[in-house]
Amino acid sequence: MNLEKVIFGFFVVLALTLNFGFFLGEMDNPAHHSVYELFAVIVVNVIATALKFGDRSQIGAVLLATSLVAVLELFAAAIYWVSAVHITGTGLTPDVMASIISLTGGALLANVISTIILVSETLFNRL
């Protein structure tokens, strides 16, 4: 068993599951979405993205692209959260929370695509 591949797979799947955990809940209810969980999602996605650098294959490029999309959307959600709460002072209104959750939903989709590619690549390498 290759420890590097285990760690890589671990972070890809952890990024997906944490993102799903944050996304789950009523879209406009801030009580269902923790800022700490969003922070954890961002950190794990950045780690997963860093692990994808260095792979020179076409699949590696697509995996990196999906990770970059996820990180971009998560950073946008975090910036929107910070600006709504601390800069403009509007707070976490249902509209603001729905926008944040929509952005994390895009990141979730990118993580799903990344995980599907990882699993399919693993299956094809086994055959």
Mean pLDDT confidence for 39-60: 93
Mean pLDDT of 105-116: 97
Count the alpha carbons within 13 Å of 4 in the hemisphere toward its beta carbon.
4
Report percent pLDDT > 70 for the chain.
Answer: 98
Mean pLDDT, the chain, integer: 94
pLDDT at position 90: 92
Q: Is residue 55 over pLDDT 90? A: no
CA-to-CA separations, 127 to 9, 24, 57, 60, 120, in angstroms, rounded: 19, 36, 19, 19, 11
List, as own/partner pairs, every contact residues 47-55 make where C-beta atoms lie below 8 angstroms and the sequence separation is at least 24, other chains included: 47/11, 47/15, 48/11, 48/12, 48/14, 48/15, 48/114, 51/7, 51/8, 51/11, 52/8
54, pLDDT greater than 90 = no
In the numeric block, the tokens 């971009």 are attached to 72
Stretch 94-112: mean pLDDT, rounded? Answer: 97
Type of residue at 88: T
Instruction: Give residue 56's pLDDT.
Output: 81
pTM: 0.92
